[in-house]
Structure 1
Amino acid sequence: MPRRHLRMTGAADCSLGAALRDLRTELDLPAAFPAEAMAEAEAAVRDPDLSAHEDATDLPFLTIDPPASTDLDQAMHLERRRDGRGYRVHYAIADVAAFVRPGGALDAEAHRRVTTLYFPDDRIPLHPTVLSEGAASLLPVEVRPAALWRIDLDSDGRATATDVRRALVRSRAKLDYAGVQRRIDARTAEEPLALLREIGRLREEQELARGGISLDVPEQEITGRDGSYGLAYRAPLPAEAWNAQISLLTGIAAAHLMAEAGTGILRTLPTAPDGAVARLRRSARALRVDWPHHVPYARVVRSLNPELPHHAAFLQECTTLLRGAGYTAFDHGDLPDPAVHAAVADLYTHCTAPLRRLVDRYASELCLAATAGKEPPEWVREALPALPKEMAEGTRRANTVERACVDLVEAALLEGRVGELFDAYVVDVGDRNPATGTVHLRDPAVVGRIEGGTAPLPLGERLRVRLTRAGPAARSVLFAPA
């Protein structure tokens, strides 16, 4: 069963917090930054390289992130084109290269860490927080260096022109998804923000037309409850999907810039094999999800309501078609095969989160060079061949952290309840042994393995299950048919 991102919203001081701290030690993850790297970061804060940045502080940018976020990679300003023929997207991406010297200690540490690691109660950052949550973060009011994208769209949301250059920007407001959704729904949002829904929906239609897929998979959220904690499911808001479409738009534009220039790094995903799609169709039938043979998979996904248990279970099953994503570098115009990201249904790259992901800094530099008609910096070209392997290792480590956190939270939550009965849905059944699989509890919001029975599990049906293993020492939960 694919895992979900976990967020802690009020339980950091309970026993779970201590268990999570122990987990960080056991996984042998990066700790404090080396002194030399910290010294470079602090020096860069005092004297960043702003020599190539034009002044774009007149644009009223805003950021949209979870309320507690301070590592703000992106800021946007949306407007209608003056010719009345579409829209203009201004998208500012934090310019990490203004602070990180190629070949220095800080750069070396970033290559060792590769990505920010998120725990429910904390994070292990890619860059020192003096940069990632300070001088390089697009915090409101502050003037910050950025790679400033300008993407023109026609009235149907198709990209017609792309430009990216270095600029100094200033965000006017730090907004959160819930607040944005309320203002848009109440029609109190001013046009730059109100256009997020208009442009987001047009981009969703473009995604559907090209056969792309965006999955609104519910999150598990750790919540405070009377001094203790619990788990609940949270369905993503439409504003989150619209915001994600702006990021996808930029990643697609960046990939095409690199492809035209002949040098770059793509995020790729092969097309799912026929057997995987056939298995998903069987899951759809078992979960009572209507999927007529003439209806494309992407359209079925868009019809689902993640707040319905059987739809949420099917969305989780859909993520099995997204396995196998990776990074592929190319040079001298030799595009990889496959070059397209199957879920995006287009060329695509990661470029919008350089504070949290190593590869994005390199993608920005490649796109800036391509737009200017120049060769990429030598330090970028030298690092390019090794980047896919580095990113694969960083992604593996991040997935290990995520799996371990979910297992620990669920096991800790159900400690002391071994032997109790729960109502659950069967959301996955083993191919080789249909008596084993995965169940999705309704309350608490736990997803766990089930085994020990002799009869095939009823995929998509409600099942009474007994908890047979739990607790921090076990680090995972296990169920059996009641």
Structure 2
Amino acid sequence: MPARHARLTDASDELAAALAAIREELELTAEFPPAAQAEAEAYAASPRLPDADRTDVDFVTIDPEGSTDLDQALHLERDGDGFVVRYAIADVPAFVEPGGAIDAEARRRGQTMYAPDGRVPLHPPIVSEGAASLLEGQERSAYVWTMHLDASGDVTETTLERARVRSRAQLTYVEAQRRVDAGDAMLGLLREIGELRIALEEAREGASLDMPEEQVVRDGDDFAIERRELLPVERWNAQLSLMTGMEAANLQLRAKRGILRTMPVPPPGDVERFRTEVRAIGEEWVEGEHYGAFLRRLDRSKPTTLAILQAARRLFRGASYTVLDDDSVASELEQAAIGAPYAHTTAPLRRLVDRYVLAHCDAIANGREIPAWATEGLEGLPEIMQASGQLASRLERESIDAVEIAVLRHRIGEEFDAVVVETRKEGATIQLLDPPTEAACDTAAGPGTRIRVRLTEADLAARRLRFAEA
């Protein structure tokens, strides 16, 4: 399910304590075992670099401001009426010894965990934010994908190699957008390719939740949520990552070996419930329009849009990981939200499964035997990723709940517009329209009904938020 992250720029002692308590309850700690830390320090002192040299390519990275764990760098050029996209991915297998301490700890963690006030990393920061990160001006080992695209943006040829690279610039989204708008030759192609890929996504009935970034800031003695709409460059950049993941899936499917990220088509009942909620919120969704096309055209500046995007998350349920073998059934291997087979491969510093996908793809693309550690490591990997995903979702959900309580706790007695999401024996769940918050509510109204509610409880220490129909 797409994540909804909130960043915290200033916290009260009480909110900070609540967020720390959540991580403690979930047994999440940023510290690494001494053996894993020692392995990371040894690699950082003497990184292993491949012979192939692509440091002549003017790669750049594009990430949120303040990022240090840089997984991807890109370079674009025109090729006749088409394009060449080079996408460099951090070489995590270079510093993870199979069966070693970092390997064991990474399989225990599964992925980096994000909270409003910080993160719990997958790998020791000395490598994930230092020696292996694609930092500006630093020579690094990377998996370099080279994808040739035709005039429509479709991939016609893909190669993959392990090579040394050097990023020329570490750009924030704002800086990258500014360069695009100013006519930067290379990043101007990002707009062109990104728009072509979005058109292809629409043609295959893919769907995307472009959730705005949220920041929780102090407002006097209270808190407020400030939202930032995604810049166009963020959507274009995301399309390159999706394209690389689709190519990774195609390589693995060719060999019938590896692991894909799969998701079923949402059941008709879920789509109809979402349509009912959209109607209650007050947005027009015409009959026959695919939900992906509807989500793409929503005005992100409207306060009700985030509530619709929140409700749409229920259409993105059931994602899992599928290990390929000779008996794999093609119809069961698609990622429905993308509208194609797909593999996680572009974030190995932050997600365990990407390391195994990269090793499989590198071997398959170059006609070599897949490393034994990569094939053997698939055993239990879907369960590891599923469990860590559930833990990450719980951390996200409970952290955002705490932040929302902090935002709303001084508004006891105030009324809000809301839509009933679901009803159970213990009560209903509602979605506030503004601020877009899910909470418990005492009401007899059925799902999809728009109601007026009054805030009755906002207890940060107990982490309880409750409303009653006004």
Q: In 1, Cα distance between the equivalents of 2:433 and 2:202?
A: 32
Paired-residue identity, %: 46
User: What amino acid sits opposite 2:39 in the alignment?
Assistant: E
Task: Go from structure 1 to structure 2 and tell me whether the alpha carbon gap of 1:451 and 1:224 turns closer, same or farther (over 3 Å shift).
Answer: closer
Task: Give, in whole Å, the separation in 2 of the partners of 1:110 and 1:161.
Answer: 33
Give the deviation of 1:78 after TM superposition: 0.9
The residue identity in structure 2 corresponding to 1:148 is V
Equivalent in the alignment of 2:443 = 453
Structure 1 residues 457 and 35: alpha-carbon distance in aligned structure 2, compared to 1, 3 A threshold: closer
For residue 44 of structure 1, what is the aligned residue in structure 2? 43
Matches within 5 A, 1:231-242: 231-242=225-236
Please name the residue that 2:17 is paired with.
18
1:474 alignment partner in structure 2: 462
Residue 415 of structure 2 corresponds to residue 427 of structure 1:
no
Report the Cα distance in structure 2 between the residues aligned to 1:12 and 1:113, rounded to whole angstroms. 27
Stretches of structure 2 that go unaligned for 5 or more consecutive residues are none
Q: What is aligned with 1:270?
A: 264
Matches within 5 A, 1:279-428: 279-332=273-326, 334-335=328-329, 338-418=332-412, 420-424=413-417, 426-428=418-420
Partner of 1:143: 139
Shift in alpha-carbon separation, 1:53–1:336, aligned structure 2, 3 A: farther
Alpha-carbon contact 1:2-1:320 (below 8 Å) kept: no
One-letter code aligned to 2:442: G
Aligned equivalents of 2:278, 2:425: Cα separation in 1: 20
Following superposition, the deviation at residue 206 of structure 1 comes to 0.4
Report the number of matched residues: 470
CA, structure 1 residues 130+307, in 2 after alignment: closer, same or farther (shift >3 Å)?
Answer: same
Aligned to 2:430: 438
**1:73–1:138: 8 Å Cα contact kept in structure 2?**
yes
Q: Deviations over 1:133-174 (max 9, x none)?
A: 000101101111100000111011001000111011111111
State the secondary structure of the residue aligned to 2:322.
Answer: strand
Q: After superposing the two structures, state which structure 1 stretch, 200-209 or 24-33, moved more.
A: 24-33
User: Would you say the 8 A contact 1:95–1:146 is kept in 2?
Assistant: yes
**CA offsets, 1:228-284, max 9 Å, x none?**
642223322221111110000000000000100220100000111121122222223
Deviation (angstroms), 1:95? 0.3
Residue 84 of structure 2 corresponds to 88
Aligned partner of residue 436 in structure 1, secondary structure? strand
| Shift in Å, 1:183 | 3.2
- Matched to 1:5, the amino acid is H
State the superposition RMSD in angstroms. Answer: 2.2
Contact 1:3 1:406 in 2 (8 A): no
Q: Deviations over 1:333-369 (max 9, x none)?
A: 6356510000111010000000000000111000000
Q: Where does residue 32 of structure 1 map in the other structure?
A: 31
Tell me, in whole angstroms, the C-alpha distance in 1 between the residues paired with 2:404 and 2:139: 42
Q: Unaligned stretches of 5+ in structure 1?
A: none
Q: How does 1:72-221 map to 2 (within 5 A)?
A: 72-81=70-79, 84-184=80-180, 187-221=181-215
* SS class of match (2:459): coil
Q: 1:14 Cα deviation (Å)?
A: 4.8
Q: 2: distance between equivalents of 1:2 and 1:171?
A: 29
Q: Contact 1:414–1:471 (CA<8 Å) still a contact in 2?
A: no
Amino acid at match of 1:315: L
Which TM-score applies when normalising by structure 1? Answer: 0.92
**If the length of structure 2 is used for normalisation, what is the TM-score?**
0.94
For 1:166 and 1:224, locate their aligned partners in 2 and report how far apart those are by CA, in whole Å: 46
Q: Using the alignment, how far apart are the partners of 2:214 and 2:142 within structure 1?
A: 33
Q: Which region of structure 1 is more displaced relative to structure 2, 447-456 or 373-382?
A: 447-456
Is contact 1:200–1:245 with CA below 8 Å preserved after alignment? yes
Matches of 1:434 and 1:62 in 2, distance apart?
52
Label 1:314 to 1:333 Cα distance change in 2 as closer, same or farther (>3 A). Answer: same
Q: Is the 8 A contact 2:416 2:454 kept in 1?
A: no
**C-alpha deviation, 1:53, in angstroms:** 4.0
